[in-house]
A and B are shown apart, each in its own frame.
Chain A
Amino acid sequence: MSDVLIRNEPVAETPYVAAGVTISLALPMQRLALRARRAEDLETVLKVTLPRKIGASEGGIACLGPDEWYLRAQAGATIPTASGLPVAITDISDRSICLVLEGPRAAEILMSGCPLDLNKFAVGQVARTIYETVEIIIIREAEDRFHVELWRSFAAWFWIAMTTAARH
């Protein structure tokens, strides 16, 4: 059913191109919030290995907190559900959208409002942090490519902030 619905994205669907950076909307994907006191329980359910260090990511799963993980997968991928173990697996696919910043100025543009030093941010590292007043999750996919996950309702504002920073 949802396949035939028309998606209305809060940001432009055509990439914004500026000198040194391209800002675009990532393809729709599946997102799951994973919570468990014991990581082993989640590993049993999902049949994967979870990263244990906060900020690390492995196979599309990022560790955000001591009992919290964030899974991103291709839209339509089948994710096993829980089986009596004390875990919480919540589908939050449409809560967030993902903007992709690509280019040599990507880090600089994110740092216009994010207090982290992204020059020291390793490829593959993930951090939940803040941009001005908006909670974001930064994922460094490559040396010059960042994925920024944020709540859909903040996306229109964030898009303006990013494109304004990119223009300057």
Chain B
Amino acid sequence: MILIHCPYCDEKRPEIEFVNAGQAHISRPLDPSSQTDEEWEAYLFIRANPRGRHHERWRHTYGCGRFFNAVRDTVSDKFETTYKAGEPRR
């Protein structure tokens, strides 16, 4: 069982309490109507799929219920760090 550190609970909790919520640090364009179709497509659908270090959003669904960001290695499934939503990319 993987233990994930929740930055809000400040505690390592079992992986089963968490849900992955996709790539982190994707912000919605401030003015969507100014976007070209390609830009809008990139925002909606195009995601990174790295081998190695990956920034992801996770949610402590069965716990404090908060979204936070994590850096996870997609090869080893090891969590490098987790930090609160809104904090700068690490």
Residues of A within 8 A of B (CB): 54-55, 64-66, 68, 115-116, 127-130, 135
Tell me the dominant secondary structure on chain B's binding face.
Answer: loop
A54 to B10, CA, bound (A): 9
Per the bound structure, the CA–CA distance linking A54 and B68 in Å amounts to 15
List chain A residues, Cβ under 8 A from B62: 128-130, 135
Dominant secondary structure at the A interface: strand
Q: Is the CB of A68 within 8 A of B1?
A: no
* Interface-side segment among B11-19, B29-37, B50-58, B69-77: B11-19
Residues of B within 8 A of A128 (CB): 62-65
CB contacts between A and B, total, < 8 Å: 38
Report the minimal beta-carbon distance from A67 to chain B, rounded to whole angstroms: 9
Q: How long is the Cα–Cα vector from A65 to B17 in the complex, in angstroms?
A: 14
In the complex, what's the smallest C-beta–C-beta distance from B47 to chain A, in angstroms? 28
Known: A54-B8, A65-B8, A66-B8. A115 touches B17 (CB 8 A): yes
Give me 24 A-to-B residue pairs in the complex whose CB atoms sit less than 8 angstroms apart, sorted by A's number. Answer: A54-B8, A54-B9, A54-B64, A55-B9, A64-B65, A65-B63, A65-B65, A66-B8, A66-B64, A66-B66, A68-B64, A115-B14, A115-B16, A115-B17, A127-B63, A128-B62, A128-B63, A128-B64, A128-B65, A129-B17, A129-B63, A130-B16, A130-B62, A135-B62
Q: What separation, in Å, do the CA atoms of A115 and B13 have in the docked complex? A: 9
Residues of A within 8 A of B8 (CB): 54, 65-66
Which residue of A has the minimal Cβ distance to B9? A54
Q: How far is the CA of A127 from the CA of B65 in the complex (A)?
A: 12
Q: Which residues of B contact A64 (CB under 8 A)?
A: 64-65
- Bound-state CA distance A128–B64 (Å) is 7
**B10 nearest in chain A by CB position:** A54
- In addition to A115-B1, A129-B13, 8 A-B residue pairs with Cβ atoms within 8 Å of each other are A65-B63, A65-B66, A66-B8, A66-B64, A116-B13, A116-B14, A128-B62, A129-B17
